[in-house]
Structure 1
Amino acid sequence: MANYQELANLVWNVADDVLRGLFKPHEYGDITLPFLVLRRLDCILDEDDRKDKAIQTYKQFKDHVPEEALPPIILKEINASFYNTSQYDLSRLTEDPTNIHLNFENYLNGFSQDVRDIIENFNLDRFIERLNQNNRLFIFCDKFTEVDLHPNQVDNRTMGLVFEELLRKFSEMSNETSGEHYTPRDVVQLLVSLLFAEHRENLRGQGVIRSIFDPCCGTGGMLTIGKKYFREQINPNADIRLLGQELNAQTYAICKSDMLITGEDPDSIQHGSSLSNDRFQGQRFDYMITNPPFGVSWKSDEVAVKAEAQTANGRFSAGTPRSSDGALLFLQHMLSKMEARGSRVGIVFNGSPLFTGDAGSGESEIRRWIIENDYLECIIALPEKLFFNTSIATYIWILTNRKSEARRGKIQLINAVDFHDEMKRNLGAKNALISDNHIRQLIQLYTNFEETEHCKIYPNDFFGYTKVTVERPLIEKCEVLGEETEVVVRDKQGNPKPDSKLRDYERVPLTENIEDYYQREVKPHVPDSWIDRKRDKVGYEINFNRYFYQYTPLRSLKEIADEILALERKSEGLLNEVLGF
């Protein structure tokens, strides 16, 4: 197959030809994707007669060893990570069209437990009866046998791209958010390059074992690209262990099947919500990388999350954001899993986690905890229109609990909005591409750690402020000796009572003395005011655009007037030409 798009288009056309009229377009993916996995597995078992060897081994030992002892014997005999002991595969199923439904069930039940778990999560059985009753099951099986999906013909990277392209198309058909399934490969490549840019000196040589974890792993693209980068760019002999958790059953099944096929431990991919059902509780990882869904509610996890937030050592004890966006919860989850010796975290966000929430809010308290613990190393503003389902601004955050000496107490901001090429053809909303050359330039900016037009470096407290309450006295009108006058209302101690209607707030940078700021910026304009320091709240926000703002002088009135007159003369000439004057 020439490329992943050709293969994805072929599979798409098969789905459209066979399923049209019988299923709704938004159901195509639920049927097509598991068949794609099954065909991939069949092609692997065809090699070296693994399929027939598995059947022979099963028959040889089934009456002589306990049932639970059979799987390791079969796997060792066929030198694979899975097997099928039925006499069927998709090709052999087409030899008996009359009994294809029953034989298909036997075929699925013949797989080893890991594969059965994958198929169950696809929930394919709800469609098989309808396919069979309408004579489409035979056709669908037959169509898929025409495509050779053996890894020698379609490598794992290409296969991953095929799944992602099909997920994007099927998601568009069902109006789902394709960004929840996967992240564009150029974004992943940049994220991975940033993640592994520091402390490489400890990653060379023999005996290096490192883990990469993704709590929203989708189809597993970030994990596999991370491992590939590590092996190719840092240490080809390293033992890289991939682990992840995924909520969506379909993408979990795809990810687990990919791990199974590539020889990874399939049990390292777990199903469920990372927020309310942490399947890696108590574990620590060297590298963590993810792209959590943008602006998605966490109400379904609320009870468990808030209960854990109340515990001193809980993952969410720094704070909880508003229920409409759980992105910062995923970041806290990852930071809770950092190794004491040092971990690195890379995460993709939209703009909300940078500044949403006033001082004292959950979002601000989470930012405060991150920055005051000196975890935040760098934020990179990405080009717009990078993602398939949205054109909003996005950012990469890099965090660590092992900053280099030069970076301690500082945060690096990189403005990469112009580091992209325009694509010849849009893919959904995506028409910007970060090239390999752009990635090299951005990594250079990152590792140089010097201020330039595109790079700013600030101390941690630069992003903090104290929200100060400015009070003014409550004044009541009263009559004294027959004349109306205004009187300041006082409490029992003789202090003026504040007027809540006149209450105001000032944000005083942490780098400034509050009293000095008040005397300079407030008191001259509101002489009867005072500040109530008991109400002070510390907040943190990162207003990225402000730091890279470039002033553009306004055009002069004369320049604008001259342009208007020129346009009038031009339009008058065109009008005369049209009318023949």
Structure 2
Amino acid sequence: MAESQNLSALIWSVADLLRGDYKQSEYGRVILPFTVLRRLDCVLEATKSAVLAEKEKREAAGLPAEPFLRKASGYGFYNDSPLDLPKAAGDQDNIAENLHDYTQAFSPEVRDIFECFEFAAQLDRLAKADLLYLVTDKFANVDLHPDVVPNDKMGHVFEELIRRFAELSNETAGEHFTPREVIALMVNLLFTEDDDVLARPGVVRTLYDPTAGTGGMLSTAEERLTDMNPDARLVLSGQELNAESYAICKADMLIKGQDVARIKHGNTLSDDGHPGQVFDYMLSNPPFGVEWKKVQKDVKKEHKDRGFDGRFGPGLPRVSDGSLLFLMHLISKMRPAKDGGSRLAIVLNGSPLFTGGAGSGESEIRRHILESDLLEAIVALPTDMFYNTGIATYVWVLSNRKAPERKGKVQLIDGSRLFRKMRKSLGSKRKELGPEDIAAIVRLHGDGVEASVAEVDEHGRAYDRPVSRVFRNEAFGYQQITVERPERDAAGNVVRHNGRKQKGEPKADSSLRDTETIPLDADPEEHLAAEVLPHVPDAWVDDSKTKIGYEIPFNRHFYVFRPPRALAAIDAELKIVTDRIVAMIGGLSA
């Protein structure tokens, strides 16, 4: 991590050149595409002569050169210009024209990357400010070949740069990427259940991220699977809204040899880039608490017109937070259980656990997930884990092919105290998961049983703190019943209905109406008899108004009541403090 920060600092030094001609919030428009360009430049350097020779040979024969150039490059993409970045920088008088020609000489999928960066416009702007040579020369002298800067290190570089740009422009860094150790935890939670399958020779699996950012989740998953089984292959797919992040992700996937046609640009919620496709594994860190007003029309239309045949059948959350829309999107892309099923992990804040009462969109989404037995586990992460926020976050693990012992159950894991403090904060990120912390959480999940750890409180008293709890799905459901009382006239007599439908029955007084929450398996009439009628004998339950709700009060399930100390002990401590104060006052007045 330290090396990648040093490298990003070197690249960041270009900002010194831009100061004055560019606003701080605009630095990324130059630095990010130039970093990508130099990375691709270094990657293709070794096969440059072979590509140029192949081009000359095929053109002389009157044959289309493209497929041969892809093969000659060794990477499936190419640049057929004799130029590279150092050569372009070496001709200072023609540098603008050379760089335009050089970037246009890439294969189409790479040209798309630079179009997303609007790189041509930046080259012209740099040229007008007499900065183009200085900036190009800086990058031409940085070696970004994968042998020098491995893919995982390069990912850290991009993430560090984006974090800095986000701070300068007051954007949300968390919308772009997730800390690598959090991704490692999520990947382990997905893969460890399938160790036996993933260890088979030549196994091929698919993985998808609908909020791909710069591709950190996709890359980490691929690295983890390769560590487990060098013969395994993970086919990566993703979609990203932010043009710059999409461009970086696409460049990274190109270098890794992935099919970049599977990486889509656009809004996942309003324009699904992978319609009708299903995947073996899925990962996502959707933006926290971001409204979905811009796509409200499209989402509501799909919900209304397609119902459960679409992505948003269960319900819609409030427009101020769209994270549950991404969760439903992922569920819609689960491979049917009969075809092998799927596993997914998604990072959410605390809101989706409990926001929304019975019958609300959020509650109906939770109801669908739990009644469909899709939720396998939820892991509470420490606070201060993300670059842009210190709030509590949770990893939800879902599967439609649960192990037999997990069926009908949900495991809650409290990992909030498993972390190590960082020596230097990065934005709001002050804590990180160490390898031993990840291993402890994965072990708790793998065991799938309730567990506690022995701890001592501030007063030296020992107690057991739960770290893993297991519940039946129904434990998170409840009934919201409506208790009515009769309307009375001035004489105190019950007012009754005159119509045929309810003739003779008492009219309900809306001002006396009350709602109560009871367990899902409780009998409303028994509850009424035991808890209500002893106090208000004329009450009744209106069954037509009963609603079913679901919530997951995570923290409540890990609360441990510790009785206060004996009053005598507290008094004794207070006496010691009081005596000390009296003695101090006496010393002052002496």
Shorter-chain TM-score bucket reads over 0.9
RMSD: 1.9
- How far, CA to CA, are the matches of 2:300 and 2:534 in structure 1? 45
- How far, CA to CA, are the matches of 2:98 and 2:342 in structure 1? 50
Deviation for aligned residue 1:137:
0.7
Matched, 1:490 2:496: yes
- How far, CA to CA, are the matches of 1:174 and 1:407 in structure 2? 46
Matched, 1:334 2:330: yes
Q: For 1:170, which of 153, 156, 165 is the aligned residue?
A: 165
Change beyond 3 A, Cα 1:149–1:231: same
Normalization by structure 2: what TM-score?
Answer: 0.92
Please name the residue that 2:532 is paired with.
522
- How far, CA to CA, are the matches of 1:100 and 1:392 in structure 2? 48
Q: For 1:236, which of 230, 233, 242 is the aligned residue?
A: 230
1:515-571 CA-to-partner distances (Å, cap 9, x unmatched) read 222222222222221110011111100000111111132355555555455445545
Deviation for aligned residue 1:337:
1.1
Please name the residue that 1:474 is paired with.
487
Structure 1 residues not aligned, in runs of 5+ = 478-484
Change beyond 3 A, Cα 1:573–1:29: farther
Matched, 1:460 2:473: yes
Q: Is the 8 A contact 1:462 1:511 kept in 2?
A: no
Change beyond 3 A, Cα 1:580–1:7: farther
* Local SS of the residue matching 1:455: strand
- How far, CA to CA, are the matches of 1:559 and 1:258 in structure 2? 64
1:174-195 CA-to-partner distances (Å, cap 9, x unmatched) read 1111111111111111111101
- Aligned-pair identity in percent equals 47
Q: Is the 8 A contact 1:180 1:292 kept in 2?
A: yes
Deviation for aligned residue 1:63:
6.2
Mapping for residues 56-205 of structure 1, pairs under 5 Å:
56-62=53-59, 64-65=61-62, 69-205=64-200
Mapping for residues 145-544 of structure 1, pairs under 5 Å:
145-233=140-228, 235-310=229-304, 311-312=306-307, 313-340=309-336, 341-453=340-452, 454-477=467-490, 485-492=491-498, 493-544=503-554
Change beyond 3 A, Cα 1:275–1:2: closer
* Local SS of the residue matching 1:130: helix
Change beyond 3 A, Cα 1:475–1:65: farther
- How far, CA to CA, are the matches of 1:110 and 1:574 in structure 2? 84
Please name the residue that 2:23 is paired with.
24
- How far, CA to CA, are the matches of 1:575 and 1:156 in structure 2? 67
Q: State the AA in 1 paired with 2:435.
A: D
Q: State the AA in 1 paired with 2:48.
A: K
Q: State the AA in 2 paired with 1:330.
A: F
* Local SS of the residue matching 2:387: coil
Mapping for residues 6-25 of structure 1, pairs under 5 Å:
6-15=6-15, 17-25=16-24
* Local SS of the residue matching 2:145: coil
Q: State the AA in 1 paired with 2:478.
A: Y
- How far, CA to CA, are the matches of 1:190 and 1:77 in structure 2? 38
- How far, CA to CA, are the matches of 1:430 and 1:574 in structure 2? 44
Structure 2 residues not aligned, in runs of 5+ = 453-466
Q: Is the 8 A contact 1:318 1:365 kept in 2?
A: yes
Change beyond 3 A, Cα 1:29–1:563: farther
- How far, CA to CA, are the matches of 1:174 and 1:526 in structure 2? 60
**Residue correspondences, number:** 567
Deviation for aligned residue 1:161:
0.6
- How far, CA to CA, are the matches of 1:136 and 1:572 in structure 2? 73
* Local SS of the residue matching 2:545: strand
- How far, CA to CA, are the matches of 2:27 and 2:575 in structure 1? 59
Deviation for aligned residue 1:208:
1.4
Deviation for aligned residue 1:206:
2.4
Deviation for aligned residue 1:575:
6.6
* Local SS of the residue matching 1:198: helix
- How far, CA to CA, are the matches of 2:562 and 2:171 in structure 1? 40
Q: Is the 8 A contact 1:386 1:433 kept in 2?
A: yes
* Local SS of the residue matching 1:543: coil
Please name the residue that 2:461 is paired with.
none
Q: Is the 8 A contact 2:524 2:541 kept in 1?
A: no
Normalization by structure 1: what TM-score?
Answer: 0.94
Q: Report which stretch shifted further, 125-134 or 336-345.
A: 125-134
- How far, CA to CA, are the matches of 2:101 and 2:585 in structure 1? 79
